[in-house]
Amino acid sequence: MSIAYDSAVDLMRSLYDRSITTPSVLDPVRYFPNVTHFTERWRDIRDEALAAAAELQKIPRFHEIMAEQRDISANDGKDWRVLILKAYGVEMPQNLHRCPTTASLLGQTPEVVSCILSFLAPDKHIPVHRGPFRGILRFHLMLSMPRDETGRPACVMEIDGVPHRLADGESLLWDDTYPHEVWNRSSEVRVALLLDVWRTGMPLHLRLVSRTLVGLVQMWMRLRGVSYGG
């Protein structure tokens, strides 16, 4: 990534860090009260994701959508493919049409800023990285998790040095500005739903900064005509 981008991200993180001291993993009941909309329907969401996976080669790799993410998406020649249903508040009608249950749930949860179905190839490693700003939180809902030879979930997500293994239907709400990395140590594709949700409880100046930043990204997407079709 460019020096200018890295400097801007560091400045933004420092602004949030002055006021936000929450840990890497958070209580979804407090920070994402509508979490049950998704956890109670995880099997239906999984069915839609697996139907999309039937044409996996047509779903773009992450770095094909965002070239800035090449270092974490194209680092090892293994695929990280993403079907984006909503990005920074901008809906992708073609992809939403393919996933009517998920689309309906998004309509009931306006606090969800972004929504993707994530397909992690066998042996894929996403190296250590950090998200750019703390105005949003990341929610993982596991839809199809391969198992290792001992029966444990074979995909490990390490957040701030702590490993997490999510089985099918399990979920985690966390702050992606903490260092994190992922390994799929299996011969199967791992499938997950990833949501970005507005962080609650921020002071007014950070709420305004967050809305402004997301608004600028939306403007950039519309100017570029980004569709994220899958």
Average pLDDT over residues 38-49: 98
Assign domain 21-224 to its CATH superfamily: B-lactam Antibiotic, Isopenicillin N Synthase; Chain (2.60.120.330)
Report pLDDT for 215.
87
Q: Is the pLDDT of residue 227 over 60?
A: no
Report the chain's mean pLDDT, rounded to a whole number. Answer: 91
Q: Mean pLDDT across the stretch 43-60?
A: 96
Confidence (pLDDT) at 9? 72
- Report how far residue 160's alpha carbon sits from residue 94's, in angstroms, rounded to the nearest whole number: 36
Listed in order, strand segments (DSSP E) in the chain are 25-26, 80-87, 90-91, 112-120, 125-129, 136-144, 155-159, 162-164, 171-174, 180-184, 190-198
Q: pLDDT-derived band of residue 4, with 50, 70 and 90 as boundaries? A: low
- The mean pLDDT value for 50-66 works out to 92
What Cα–Cα distance (Å) separates residue 87 from each residue in 111, 203, 221, 228? 12, 24, 9, 9
pLDDT, tens digit (0-9, with 9 covering 90-100), for 127-162: 999 988 899 999 999 999 999 999 999 999 999 999
- When pLDDT is cut at 50, 70 and 90, the band that residue 6 belongs to is low
Confidence of residue 60 (pLDDT cuts 50, 70, 90): very high
The SS3 call for residue 19 is coil
pLDDT of residue 49: 98
Segment 180-186 shows an average pLDDT of 97
What are the backbone dihedrals phi and psi of residue 34, each rounded to the nearest 5 degrees, phi first? -85, 15
Task: Give the residue-averaged pLDDT of 53-72.
Answer: 89
Whole-model pTM: value is 0.91
**Domain boundaries defined on the chain:** 21-224
Q: What's the pLDDT tens digit per position in 68-105? A: 788 898 899 999 999 999 999 999 999 999 999 999 99
What is the length of the chain?
A: 230
CA angle at 41 for the pair 36 and 43, rounded to the nearest 5°? 140
User: Looking at the predicted structure, is the pLDDT value of residue 229 above 60?
Assistant: no
Residue 67's pLDDT is: 79
The predicted structure's pLDDT at residue 15: 84
Taking 3-state DSSP, the helix, strand and coil percentages for the chain, each rounded to the nearest 5, stand at 35, 30, 35
pLDDT of residue 135: 93
What local confidence, expressed as pLDDT, does residue 226 receive? 55
Band (pLDDT 50/70/90 cuts) for residue 224 is low
Greatest alpha-carbon span in the chain: 50
What are φ and ψ of residue 114, in 5° steps? -140, 155
